[in-house]
């Protein structure tokens, strides 16, 4: 086999295969109860309604659906997205919208536009691994900011301090990446005060905020908090926030369809970057989703998703209360939305090692260390509750409780 490794670009050499995805392979054996994935519950996918919408597209606009489209996105879909956002209080025009092949492409586009090798992005500790991969693939680095003990957003003192130190050291910071609604991996949700404070910080420093909101609509309890994009729009309206949305968690991830909302000048820049990637997003899928949205049934699917995830989240929290050892240094988040909760264990437990023991007991999670770029915390784990059944949640958490109990006993 030819070896081209000496010819690979520096960026390619900086790309890291996801250790989490590698580990997921280990957890995918059929008899393992896995809380490791991040998959939506497939029973909510509206297969028949989507089939009907696809048929309408083929029956009425088949030739258009099979043709190239514009990079900005299908007009019909963008109209539906504008209506969808306006129902949530966000007012946008077509020029503020770019349709993308789901959020992951958007993370890549933004990184491509802003980052040179050696640049920095401010992001949470922990944060979504796919965003870290996109940043690293442009040879850029991350300045990690811890969250407050109240888990309601960044520790703003630490943010100011990290920023000042980085500036003094001549580091070039390009943007701030956050997932304010039910973060992957932790389930943290930012308070309104912290959202406003971050916006003020962005105004002061001139740094754009990349607000990634795949879980925003999946709030199954509590009151909705305005997005940072909305806060900017309702306030000084400086166009400093780039908001990413996706159909992945509100409808079906296999559609690979999402949208970026941003200032028109930024959208034009993103369009050029996207042209080099794929010319345009899959035209048929855009028209198909527009047709489906016109039926008005998406709201019902989102509500059904919320209802289902609320029950599963409650089942997992209740099972954790039943089966986890009761200690002050064991805790878990109780998210009001999203797909994940985050467990913190005693500091002497390394969840990378615990995972191997858990897999022996036929239960799996994602070790928290994978969600940090440097100095990872080793005593946390991400648990997905959207995909497993209620029975699997009960049995899997029971097994996990035993694994943790054994690790504590061994330490003693
Ligand atoms: C925070 C976050 N951003 C982006 C993505 C990518 O989603 P997609 O490309 O399916 O829209 C995910 C997927 O889990 C995520 O958790």
Residue 406 has a CB neighbour count (10 Å cut-off) of 13
Residue 10 and residue 139 in contact, taking contact as beta carbons nearer than 8 Å: yes
Q: Which tokens sit at 318? A: 């209740």
Q: Note the pLDDT tens digit of each residue in 10-51.
A: 888 877 766 666 666 766 778 899 999 999 999 999 999 999
Distance set, CA 340 to CA 63, 87, 151, 226, 343 (Å)? 41, 26, 14, 21, 10
**What percentage of the chain has pLDDT greater than the value 90?**
91
Which CA distances in Å does 384 have to 33, 217, 322?
Answer: 11, 17, 18
Task: Give the burial class of 152: count Cβ atoms within 10 A of its Cβ; 0-12 exposed, 13-18 middle, 19 or more buried.
Answer: middle
d(CA 203, ligand 1 centre) in Å: 26
Residue of minimum CA distance from atom 7 in ligand 1: 103
Q: For the segment 109-167, what is each residue's pLDDT rounded down to a tens digit?
A: 999 999 999 999 999 999 999 999 999 999 999 999 999 999 999 999 999 999 999 99
Atom of ligand 1 nearest to the CA of 258: 11
Alpha carbon of 33 to ligand 1 centroid (Å): 23
* Rounded CA Rg of the chain: 22
pLDDT tens column, 379-391: 999 999 999 999 9
53-60 average pLDDT score: 98
CA 310/CA 221 separation, integer angstroms:
7
Mean pLDDT score of the chain? 96
Q: What average pLDDT score do residues 316-331 get?
A: 98
Question: Residue 108 Cα, ligand 1 centroid: separation in angstroms?
Answer: 12
Residues with CB under 6 A from ligand 1: 38, 102-104, 128, 130, 179, 184, 212, 214, 246, 248, 253, 258
What's residue 1's pLDDT? 78
The rounded distance, in Å, linking the Cα atoms of 49 and 55 is 10
Q: How far is the CA of 132 from the centre of ligand 1 (A)?
A: 12
Q: Are strands 380-384 and 366-367 parallel, antiparallel or unpaired?
A: antiparallel
Is the pTM higher than 0.85?
yes
Collapsing DSSP states into helix, strand and coil, what is residue 118? coil
Residues in the chain: 412
Structure tokens at 313: 């989240």
Q: Ligand 1 centroid vs 104 CA: distance in angstroms?
A: 6
| Mutational test site, ligand 1, from 103, 129, 244, 250, max ligand atoms within 8 Å of CB | 103
Provide the angle, in degrees to the nearest 10, between the axes of the packed helices 102-114 and 264-278.
110
Helix, strand, coil distribution of the chain in percent, nearest 5: 50, 15, 35
Burial 51-72 (b: 16+ CB within 10 A, else e): eebbebbeeebeeebeeebebb
């Amino acid at each position: 086999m030819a070896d081209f490794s000496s010819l690979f670009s520096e960026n390619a050499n900086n790309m890291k295969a996801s250790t989490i995805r590698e580990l997921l392979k280990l957890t995918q054996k059929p008899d393992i109860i896995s809380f490791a994935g991040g998959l939506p519950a497939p029973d909510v996918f509206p297969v028949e309604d989507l089939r009907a919408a696809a048929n309408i597209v083929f029956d009425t606009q088949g030739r258009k659906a099979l043709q190239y489209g514009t990079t900005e996105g299908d007009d019909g879909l963008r109209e539906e997205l504008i209506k969808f956002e306006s129902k949530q209080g966000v007012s946008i025009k077509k020029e503020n919208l770019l349709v993308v092949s789901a959020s992951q492409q958007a993370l890549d586009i933004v990184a491509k536009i802003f980052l040179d090798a050696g640049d920095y992005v401010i992001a949470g500790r922990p944060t979504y691994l796919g965003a870290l991969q996109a940043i690293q693939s442009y040879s850029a680095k991350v300045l990690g900011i811890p969250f407050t003990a109240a888990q309601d957003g960044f520790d703003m003192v630490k943010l100011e301090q990290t920023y000042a130190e980085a500036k003094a050291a001549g580091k070039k910071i390009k943007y701030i990446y956050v997932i304010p609604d039910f973060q992957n991996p932790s389930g943290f949700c930012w308070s309104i005060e912290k959202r406003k404070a971050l916006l003020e910080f962005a105004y002061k420093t001139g740094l754009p905020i990349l607000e990634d909101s795949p879980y925003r609509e999946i709030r199954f309890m509590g009151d909705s908090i305005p997005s940072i994009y909305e806060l900017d729009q309702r306030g000084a309206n400086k166009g400093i926030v780039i908001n990413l949305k996706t159909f992945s968690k509100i409808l079906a991830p296999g559609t690979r369809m999402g949208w970026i909302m941003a200032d028109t000048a930024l959208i034009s820049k993103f369009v050029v970057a996207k042209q080099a990637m794929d010319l345009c997003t899959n035209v048929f899928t855009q028209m198909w989703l527009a047709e489906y949205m016109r039926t008005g049934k998406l709201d019902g699917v989102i509500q059904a998703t919320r209802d289902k995830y609320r029950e599963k989240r409650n089942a997992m929290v209740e099972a954790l209360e039943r089966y986890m050892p009761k200690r002050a240094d064991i805790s878990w988040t109780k998210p009001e939305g999203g797909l994940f909760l985050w467990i913190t264990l005693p500091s002497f437990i390394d969840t990378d090692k615990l995972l191997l023991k858990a897999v022996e007991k036929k239960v799996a999670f994602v070790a928290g260390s994978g969600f940090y770029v440097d100095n990872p915390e080793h005593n946390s784990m991400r648990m997905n509750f959207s995909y497993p059944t209620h029975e699997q949640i009960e049995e899997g958490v029971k097994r996990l409780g035993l694994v943790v109990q054994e690790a504590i006993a061994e330490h003693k």
